[in-house]
Amino acid sequence: MPNASLLRWVGGKVRYAPELARILASAKWARGSRYVEPFVGGASVYFALGPKRALLADANPDLVSFYQCVSDSAQAVYEIARGLSGRTSNAEFLDYRAEFNELQSGTRKAALFLYLNRTCFNGVWRVNRQGNFNVPFGSRELTMPELGAWLEVSASLKSADIQCSDWAATVNTVSKQDVVFIDPPYHQANSTESFARYTKGVFSEGDHRALAARVDALDALGCQILLTVSDSSLIRDLYPNFKISELGGWYTVGAKGSHLRSNEIVLRNFG
């Protein structure tokens, strides 16, 4: 199992992955159970858990293509990314960003994805209405994970079906024996929604309400579900039947460049 994700991901659960994986491991896993994660992001909980079968999905097509490419051709992506590593500059960053936005797919696009993720401002992934990545330059040094880490991530991803889809389509495939981990974009009451804008759309209060209604239906079906969500009165009202515990600490990256206090809660219907 890999120690960590290759990526830094806003809202990523790297720090809490061992704790969340322990909770998920305590679920009742049947023979045909899949681990399903509809907002997979940096996938740190998946890597910590190492389930036999999984469906990993996210609405960010660049992220999903990166995982598919690393799963199939980790060494080729690593070789290209290694050529991009070391000192970098704003001018170089802008050239690579333009090239990334031109390319449709492939190993070079995946290597550029890693470069941009690790050198852009605070690891934020944001695209414009055309779907082009538009985050400015942030870091002057691209540090590269060792080849061994790439190969471990690749081996781990081979157990998973990796799809680009909206959470609602992913959740529609869930069956009774599946174990579902849901880590949606934050609900921030009384603030701008910029932090939640991972993909072209924004995850609004309406999305949180729709998600809670589907989670309720999965609960009724008998699925075991774990959620991590930002604490707010809205969120607590939406999940009245779930057990709540706190997930304290600090975010390591944030859209405003500061370290933000986390006030996330863990909700579950099992254990």
Residues found near ligand SAM in the complex (CB under 6 A): 9, 11-13, 38-39, 41-42, 44-45, 58-60, 166-167, 183-185, 198-199, 203
Q: Tell me phi and psi for residue 82, to 5 degrees.
A: -60, -35
Q: Which is nearer to ligand SAM, 29 or 67 (CB)?
A: 67
Residue number with the shortest CB distance to ligand SAM? 41
**Separation CA 58–CA 243 (nearest Å):** 26
Which ranges constitute the DSSP H helices of 50-202? 61-84, 90-102, 107-119, 147-157, 167-172
- Chain centroid to Cα 269, Å, comes to 22
Smallest separation, CB 124 to ligand SAM (Å): 11
Nearer to ligand SAM, 152 or 183 (CB): 183
Looking at the Cβ atoms of 51 and 185, the one nearer to ligand SAM is: 185
Q: Whole-angstrom Cα distance, residue 223 to residue 158? A: 24
Separation between Cα atoms, residue 271 and residue 269, nearest integer Å: 7
In the complex, minimum distance from the CB of residue 83 to ligand SAM, in angstroms, rounded to a whole number? 26
Instruction: Give just the sign of the alpha carbon dihedral 93, 97, 103, 108.
Output: positive
**Smallest distance from the beta carbon of 116 to ligand SAM, in angstroms?**
15
CB of 44 or CB of 154, closer to ligand SAM:
44
Cα–Cα dist 119/93, whole Å? 8
Smaller CB separation from ligand SAM, 80 or 110: 110
- Helix or strand (DSSP H, E) at 266: strand 264-268
| Least distance from ligand SAM to the Cβ atom of residue 184, Å | 6
Choose between 11 and 80: whose C-beta lies nearer to ligand SAM: 11
Under 8 Å between Cβ of 142 and 86: yes
Q: Minimal distance in Å, beta carbon 141 to ligand SAM? A: 22
Q: Which two tokens stand for residue 23?
A: 């909770």
Q: How far is the CB of 178 from ligand SAM (least distance, A)?
A: 17
